[in-house]
Chain A
Amino acid sequence: MDKIYAVALKEFKDGFRNRWIIAITLIFAVFSLGLSYFGSAASGTLGFSSLSSTMISLASLAVILIPLISLMIAYNAFVGEYEQGTMLLLLTYPLSRTQMLLGKFFGQGIIIAMAALLGFGVAALAIIISSDVPAIEVLQAFAWFIVSAILLGWVFIAIAYVISLVVNEKSRAAGLALITWFVFVLVFDLALLALLVGTKGDVDGQLLSYLLLVNPTDVFRLINYQIVNAGEYSGVLQIAQETQTNLVVLFGVMLAWIALPLALAGTIFQKREL
């Protein structure tokens, strides 16, 4: 346990020195503050409009940013150590590969968690101070949002580890990470839409809403739509509007999306020879 802690602490320090933590926190804070204030500009008004529309805009933004940032933090985690030679060294240490994997995951997971908490927390405070929405409602909505955002970050850290362990070069890992992001954030939803249009809506609605659960970014958005009781689901998520999936199931899917890539990364790591 103390070895997992040692690795986690080192990763966290590394993230701090890299200025990753500060950069991500700032990005989150700037965007969340901006969205709270300008989010309703499209409807012709400036300033805070409603909590639910703010949360929806935040979720739409987070669903793009968080996977990208998590992949960028984590794609280097293993391939980097292989390249610089420290992996060769660490493998002679009394440290199991599982301990190394978990340590890295906790360390980098805390980086994302801290950044989300601080960055989005600032927006929550700003809304409490400047609007007449009851503080408890704001805090509740943001708590759910931040927790789901952290889970989303962890999903993509775990996926990044798989990438980092299957390639031999940093540049390849970076390329694969970008492709992964593209697939989950854009291509998947487009493909679902294409399926819907192609079959002229002749597909079982139930099946499609299950398909949505395959993509962690869609699950993240579904969670946030349900939490604020959004009246209008946007884009491909309309599929799931009638068949409200249980929140517990949605969170379960997110956790599975963390556990499975981590387990896969662990298996690849065990088998990999230098």
Chain B
Amino acid sequence: MPKEQPETLVSLESVYKSYGEVHALKDISVNIKAGEVLGLFGHNGAGKTTLMKLVLGIIGPSKGNVLTLGHAPRSIGSHHYRRQFGYLPENVSFYDHLSGREVLRYFAQLKGYNKAEAERLLKEVGLENSAGRAVKTYSKGMRQRLGLAQALLGSPKLLVLDEPTVGLDPIATHDFYITVDRLKSQGCAVILCSHILPGVEKHIDRAMIMGGGQKLAIGNLDELRRDSTLPIEIQTHGIAANEIHETLLQYHRSTNNTTDQSYQQSQTTQSLFVPIEEKMTVIRQLSSDHRLNDLEIKQPSLQEIYTYYTTKLASKPHQENLHG
């Protein structure tokens, strides 16, 4: 199926990777298309970095097939298609004695781009004023921006970013996502790995949640929400706790209020946790109640989905050994 779609840029088919006795990845299959942003989430040691290394050809799979931009990637030769890779490793520290400009020019040269391209990116990540300084004088955020600049050299077709926003201030983070959105619209496939979940939701098309080297879940956020059966939260204003209709009481969770003020407020603000498929039924019923003056619907956040899937795996710990 994946081979018939020309726009698939990355394809992994039941990929395994083990280091001696350690099974870093088990039976991973995933396709990433042009213009798609895949969020990759998981605890430390879940296999995210191994997956990224496989996609980029730094390591080879123990079993299964990896196809990146139409090639089985290998890092031995000087393969031309790797010009189209953009990679930001986690915690990379550059050559301390060189200036930011020299570092970026070096990387540009290795990728076959000229000095102008290096200058363009220095400007894009906002380093043009400190480009002449030695990298050892850079702050964490500036180093991260330099790392991003080298990943973005020459508008890559595949962008693999490991914790791209660590150390970035809110404005730089915002600018970064604008860049990602632009590349995405140009048909770049992006793998984005992050521990900071709240900001990421808006920018990913699909999320893949990993644990113990396995794929726990994959899909867009709506699919994952449905699949996880996490309830949505409906906040009502105007109806007091004791006035909730008896058919709706099953969804109501009383909250503990510590201060008087918030107690006053919670007199009329209630939270109902409703399964997704009953959302409309509940809303209809609520809206027929004339006391209701407002309602808010909160979807389960990426954080909640992530917690749901990662704790689900922890509850069945024996599966790992069966495969090993």
Among the listed B82, B95, B112, which residue makes an inter-chain contact with A10, where contact means beta carbons less than 8 Å apart?
Answer: B95
Selected from B56, B85, B97, B107, the residue in CB contact (under 8 A) with A17 is B97
| In-complex Cβ contact of A84 among B58, B87, B92 (8 A) | B92
Given contacts A3-B110, A93-B107, contact A88 B76 (CB under 8 A): no
Q: Which of A3, A18, A92, A93 contacts B97 (CB 8 A)?
A: A18
CB–CB A93/B92 < 8 A: no
Tell me which residues across on chain B come within 8 A of A92, comparing CB atoms: 56-58, 75, 82, 85, 87, 160
Chain B residues positioned under 8 Å from A273 (CB to CB): 59
A71 to B2, CA, bound (A): 51
Is B78 a contact of A88 with CB atoms below 8 Å? no
State how many angstroms separate the Cβ of A82 from the closest Cβ of chain B.
Answer: 12
Which residues of A252-274 are within 8 A (CB) of B? Answer: 270, 273-274
The CA of A99 and the CA of B94, in the complex, are separated in Å by 20
A94 CB to closest chain B CB, in angstroms? Answer: 4
Tell me if B98 counts as interface (CB < 8 A to partner A): yes
Q: How big is the A interface, by class?
A: 20 to 34
Determine whether the beta carbon of A96 is less than 8 Å from that of B78. Answer: yes
Nearest neighbor of B106 in chain A, beta-carbon distance: A10
> Which of B85, B89, B107, B110 has the most chain A CB atoms closer than 10 A to its own CB?
B110
Is B83 located at the chain interface by the 8 A CB criterion? yes
Within 8 A of A (CB), among B39-98: 53, 56-59, 75-83, 85, 87, 89-95, 97-98
Least CB distance, A123 to chain B, in whole angstroms: 29
How far is B95's CA from A13's CA once the two chains are assembled, in angstroms? 11
| Shortest Cβ distance from A85 into B: residue | B92
B59 touches A96 (CB 8 A): no
For window 1-26 of A, CB contacts with B under 8 Å fall at: 2-3, 6-7, 10, 13-14, 17-18
Given contacts A13-B97, A92-B75, A92-B160, 7 further A-B contacts (CB under 8 A): A17-B134, A88-B92, A89-B87, A92-B82, A94-B78, A94-B82, A95-B110
Interface residue ranges, B against A (CB under 8 Å): 53, 56-59, 75-83, 85, 87, 89-95, 97-98, 102, 106-107, 109-112, 134, 150, 160
Name 9 interchain pairs, CB-CB below 8 A, sorted by A. Answer: A3-B109, A6-B106, A10-B106, A18-B97, A89-B89, A94-B112, A97-B76, A274-B53, A274-B58
